[in-house]
Structure 1
Amino acid sequence: MTTTSRIIIVGTGFSGVWSAFSAKRLINLSQKKKDIEVVVISPEPTLVIRPRLYEANVASFTHPLGAMFEDAGIKFFQGIVKKIDSDAHIVSVQSTSGLESSLNYDRLILAAGSSIVRPQNIIGIEKHAFDIDSLDSAIKLETHIENMASLPPSPARDTIVVCGGGFTGLEIVTELPKRLTRIRNHRIILIDNSKEVGQALGPGPRPVIAQALKDLGIELKLGSSVAAIDADGVILASGERIESKTAIWTAGVRATPLTQQISGLKDKLGRLHVDQHLRVPSARDVFATGDAASARPDTEGHYTMMSCQHAIPLGRVSGYNAAADLLDEPMIAYTQPAYICCLDLGSYGAVVSEGWERHVKIKGDMAKRVKGYINQVAIYPPKDSQKALDEAKPVELNGTQLIEHILRAVA
């Protein structure tokens, strides 16, 4: 009699999808007589292309997974994981109809991503701030922008405030000018508590970012923080009020709350610290990946970023290792010495930097072509399940190889 083992993967973001295909690929290749099923749990069998949610036409930025999973022999369970009991090896799931059920696992891969942080000390942020953290929230913002032209002109209608000058804030604020062509004399303001624009992105890309913001007419309020948001304005900690019906919050994200249900060290973003195999040391049958994992990509003291650039290879390694552990095969160490930062700067272009020092490699129109290739091609999984299985093998590229590969693709 064959005993079936089960790998459960929580989440259908980039790391969850690639975990599933990587685990299934290794199981298919194994010659050992062991029956292992791969089960993915998520509210929808859909990959949201989250890195593109700053763009227009956001409703189209999804990738269906149901048929791919079925063709590959990956099971899908529709629902929301409410509780993880890592001692009993059980996850409790609530279905879309509200029914609750429990699933046992032999190995668990937590790939439930992250979500934006809305500080509770900012009055009105929950009710009045927009964001582009999820597909629904990005659609809500896009609908609002499309409806702005039908409102009577006023300083509040014509002013858009982006709160947060990190990666997401810079991409949405530089994209807004071409999305506001129907609003004459619009005003776009970027607020950040840092003293320098793009401070977190390092000194390399900073002059390019500053020039892009200047050329696009973006106003800056640096060294400023938000105290309150209401239907018609943003109030700064200084007491200054900016009339605006459109405040977009982009400052800060945090790992899925499910990480708090698993014992073990966590970083300031709530991510679980994992070993070189992406296993949680205090919960030996649990692997964390993507935005749920604080992993070391190299031996230089760096930690992975919350980005698809890290989520995809993290997923491939975590899926491989969860299956290898059950198959009694050697696990592989996660390593990703390449780090490429590609920041979209709207109609100005883009800037591509290499390495953790973020040395600028490409900027302007060519960088924009690189960003377009990444957003529109590179991060999408194949539509064919067999091709997805083939591509799920963990691979490593250094920074130079990665940039050369992309440049050949866009040439």
Structure 2
Amino acid sequence: MSELLRLATAGSVDDGKSTLIGRLLYDSKAIFEDQLESVEETSVRMGAEYTNLALLTDGLRAEREQGITIDVAYRYFATPRRKFIIADTPGHIQYTRNMVTGASTANLALVLVDARNGIVEQSRRHAFLSSLLQIPHIVLCVNKMDLVDWSQERFDEIAAEFRDFAAKLDVADLTTIPISALQGDNVVSRSENMPWYDGTSLLHHMEQLHIASDRNLIDARFPVQYVLRPYSSDMPDYRGYAGTVAGGTFKPGDEVLVLPSGFTSHVASIDTADGPVEEAFAPMSVTITLTDDVDVSRGDMICRPHNQPRASQDLEAMVCWMSESSTLSPRTKLGIKHTTRSARALVKDLQYRLDVNTLHRDEAVQSLALNEIGRVTLRTTLPLFCDEYRRNRTTGSFILVDESTNHTVGAGMIL
């Protein structure tokens, strides 16, 4: 089974994100003949001297302007080595919330920079959001190298500036690649125009990137989503707990503990849609059965007796506010959804708002408005079984819901 790599593209407007995605799809033969013909015809109609590959994803831009969901900005393609999902996240600051949601599951962030303009405010913001979201790998693509005469000096200058900025952030793995998305240099195959660059092409880097160790395989976490009682004659006593493994591994025979009850049992079997398996790990969707008749319901957490998440009603978190019609301020009451558990939360304190461009902390702030990010203290009505976001992105994140409209108004990362 080929491994799946999720990547998010980020860059300011006109840095060439659409062209880069178009180039990856085109050069990896992931688009159909009729799609290509349509793009070629449109390019000619627009008077372009070349096939404008940005049109492969620019259909999305028109859709976005009409207010259709951001979901259309996902693109899928595969090579013999690996499958890819690209989340094309918009560059504007007013779309910070889209980047936060689109990039929250990514293994890799592609930050695009125009070689002529170098590192701009948007590049810093995207790098900061990528590190805030704990995206394990970042690739800085210095695009439009053809417009700076393939200059090694210019590339080294931009790479050094970005490295200095990334040093202030929590970036584990940073790679820089000089490319020309328009002409295809260093995108799928190595460029002959930049003999001074001795690294790999972007696609080769994406295919070879080691992502297996990005997952948390230490802390076993299984939030229960649903209790299965089929009541069929061949399985009269079957009781299974369905959900998605959020961390660690589970095997039949493992001793487990159920929260909040604290009862212990052992895993009897692990079932999937394709039959029983001998091991389950994130992000597999499975049904676990236990050897004992323990009371387990939706929102409970199955973990190891000696490795439990923190059960807490008091949370410290970074929250990105997503509501256009309201603000987040102390004493606000909201619904909170964390893994499969729902509760209500009170905002006890807003400690500071973070300026995502300068990393400055504004401690005099009274509230968070749309697309603003700040550090918040929450008190919940039920204990949540959570880990730090940096340890586990699933059990370390939550969403906030306006209970009067049922709209999602915030996304949080537990500190």
TM-score category (smaller protein)? under 0.3
Higher helix fraction (1 or 2): 1
Q: Which has the higher strand share?
A: 2
